């Protein structure tokens, strides 16, 4: 019997599989089959690897809910056959995708690990090899015949993070991601340092449910001192808009001006979901701690607590398709569904 883990490598695009167009100097995606030829080391791993590629690999700036559904469908149709999945993805929107997929894949019992690189795999100084090889190694870890990881993660520059806790912080450094409010779950050094107490609990035999519908009638609004009523009301009056992730200051603070609260009251009364997240890179929203957030708390603004903006917007898109009443929506949003929030 073959006890080796079977890993499916899903190539969606991104720098990892790009090469330079020498006419323009710009990086462009290239044929995925060539990618594996460039890493013969993969054969040394103690697992069986199969690969599948998006027909047209994309720069992750072109990512959208249809592409997320494409990834979810690939995982769904190969779920029984494979023990783990490694998704090669551009780093630019990787945190959005790993957040989205965490919500779309309910009752996940196998690892789905996103990774990519800052330099193409063919580059002499590439970070792609370490990222790819260790991501596959972690995805193939098994204990008593079961996968060790059973959630959506992101592996980059020696660290495995919970995918929906991450954010891209640097466009140049190999350490491109951080997880401001949740520690790294695995650290790769001479050994893999596993912090299993941080992993999501194993799901007890529940079947995978794949949610492919996301509602993109949503917006992220970042507050800034001097933001005018005209600008904010123009956004909130967009006819199809159903939810807004409001990036406020510090522990969830915003102006106390009457027009601001009145605008939010009107939107919430019309069925809009407003989520308060902090524009700080770490820490949590705590509505009521300051006078500048008590008004929002009183009118039913949802607390994003310590969620990242990436997880907040994708959770909003997901929950909007679950058709819950406004009060239940608030409760669901403020509850951890996949370990994305306190």
| Residues marked as catalytic | 15
**139-87-37-132 Cα dihedral, nearest 10 degrees:** -50
What is the smallest separation between the CB atom of 262 and ligand ASP, expressed in angstroms? Answer: 40
Closest-by-Cβ residue to ligand ASP is 90
The answer to whether residue 308 forms part of the interface with ligand ASP (CB under 6 A) is no
User: What are the CA-CA distances from residue 251 to residues 26, 234, 280 (Å)?
Assistant: 41, 26, 8
Indicate whether 90 belongs to the interface with ligand ASP (CB under 6 A): yes
Contact with ligand ASP (CB under 6 A) among 92, 127, 157, 310:
92
Q: Are 88 and 96 in contact (CB under 8 A)?
A: no
Residue listed under structure tokens 């019992």: 109
Q: Which is nearer to ligand ASP, 119 or 141 (CB)?
A: 119
Which two tokens mark 319?
């929950």
By beta-carbon proximity to ligand ASP, the closer residue of 58 and 200 is: 58
157 binds ligand ASP, rule: CB under 6 A: no
Q: How far is the CB of 125 from ligand ASP (least distance, A)?
A: 15
- In DSSP terms, 301 is beta-bridged to none
Q: Does 314 bind ligand ASP (CB under 6 A)?
A: no
Q: Is the Cβ of residue 68 or residue 329 nearer to ligand ASP in the bound state?
A: 68
Q: Is 166 in the site for ligand ASP (CB under 6 A)?
A: no
Which residues ranging from 14 to 53 are in contact with ligand ASP (CB under 6 A)? Answer: 14-15
The residue count for binding ligand ASP (CB under 6 A) is: 11
Q: Please provide the DSSP assignment of 194-205 as one string.
A: E-GGGSPPPP-S
Eight-state DSSP code of residue 123: S
Q: Is 188 in the site for ligand ASP (CB under 6 A)?
A: no
Please, are residues 245 and 313 in contact by the beta-carbon 8 Å criterion?
yes
- The answer for residues whose C-beta is within 8 angstroms of residue 112's C-beta and 6 or more apart is 75, 84, 85, 87, 101, 105, 151, 152, 153, 163
When the beta carbons of 61 and 107 are compared against ligand ASP, the nearer one is 61
The least distance separating ligand ASP from the CB of residue 102, rounded to whole angstroms, comes to 19
Is 304 an interacting residue with respect to ligand ASP (CB under 6 A)? no
Q: Which is nearer to ligand ASP, 117 or 286 (CB)?
A: 117
Q: Does 59 bind ligand ASP (CB under 6 A)?
A: yes
Q: How far is the CB of 55 from ligand ASP (least distance, A)?
A: 16
115 touches ligand ASP (CB under 6 A) = no
Q: Does 67 interact with ligand ASP (rule: CB under 6 A)?
A: no
Please give the Cα distance from 254 to 125 (Å, whole number).
45
Identify the three-state secondary structure at position 340.
Answer: coil
Q: Say if residues 266 and 300 touch (Cβ distance below 8 Å).
A: no
How far is it, in rounded angstroms, from Cα 210 to Cα 68?
11
The answer to whether the beta carbons of residues 55 and 139 sit under 8 Å apart is no
Structure tokens at 64: 């959208």
Q: How far is the CB of 171 from ligand ASP (least distance, A)?
A: 8
Residue 67 or 92: which CB sits closer to ligand ASP?
Answer: 92
CB-based contact 94:176 (threshold 8 Å)? no
Task: Report in angstroms how near the CB of residue 313 gets to ligand ASP at its nearest.
Answer: 17
Q: Which DSSP state fits 283? A: S
Q: Kindly list the residues in this chain that would bind ligand ASP in the complex (CB under 6 A).
A: 13-15, 59-61, 90-92, 116, 118
């Amino acid at each position: 019997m073959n006890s080796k883990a079977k890993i499916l490598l899903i190539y969606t695009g991104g720098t990892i599989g790009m090469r330079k167009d020498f006419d323009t100097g710009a990086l462009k995606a290239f044929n995925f089959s060539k990618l594996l030829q460039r890493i013969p080391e993969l054969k040394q791993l103690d697992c069986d690897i199969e690969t599948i590629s998006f027909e047209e690999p994309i720069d992750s700036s072109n990512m959208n809910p249809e592409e997320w559904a494409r990834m979810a469908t690939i995982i769904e149709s190969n779920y029984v056959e494979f023990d783990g999945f490694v998704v090669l993805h551009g780093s630019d929107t990787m945190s959005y995708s790993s957040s989205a997929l965490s919500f779309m894949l309910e009752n996940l019992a196998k690892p789905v690990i996103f990774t990519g690189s800052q330099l193409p795999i063919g580059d002499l100084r590439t970070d792609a090899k370490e990222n790819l090889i260790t991501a596959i190694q972690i995805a193939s870890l098994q204990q008593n015949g079961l996968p060790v990881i059973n959630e959506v993660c992101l592996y980059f520059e020696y660290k495995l993070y919970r995918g929906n806790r991450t954010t891209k912080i640097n466009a140049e450094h190999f350490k491109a991601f951080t997880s401001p409010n949740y520690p790294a779950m695995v650290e790769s050094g001479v050994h893999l340092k596993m912090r299993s107490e941080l992993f999501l609990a194993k799901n007890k035999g529940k079947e995978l449910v794949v949610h492919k519908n996301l509602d993109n009638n949503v917006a992220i609004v970042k507050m800034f001192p001097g933001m005018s009523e005209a600008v904010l009301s123009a956004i909130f009056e967009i006819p199809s808009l159903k939810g807004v992730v409001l990036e406020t200051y510090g522990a969830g603070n915003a102006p106390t001006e009457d027009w601001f609260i009145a605008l939010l009251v009107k939107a919430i009364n019309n069925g809009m979901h407003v989520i308060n997240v902090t524009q700080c890179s770490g820490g949590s929203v705590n509505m009521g701690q300051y006078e500048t957030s008590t008004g929002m708390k009183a009118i039913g603004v949802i607390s994003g607590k310590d969620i990242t903006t990436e997880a907040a917007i994708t959770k909003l898109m997901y929950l909007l398709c679950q058709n819950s009443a406004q009060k239940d929506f608030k409760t669901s949003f403020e509850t951890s569904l996949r370990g994305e929030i306190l």
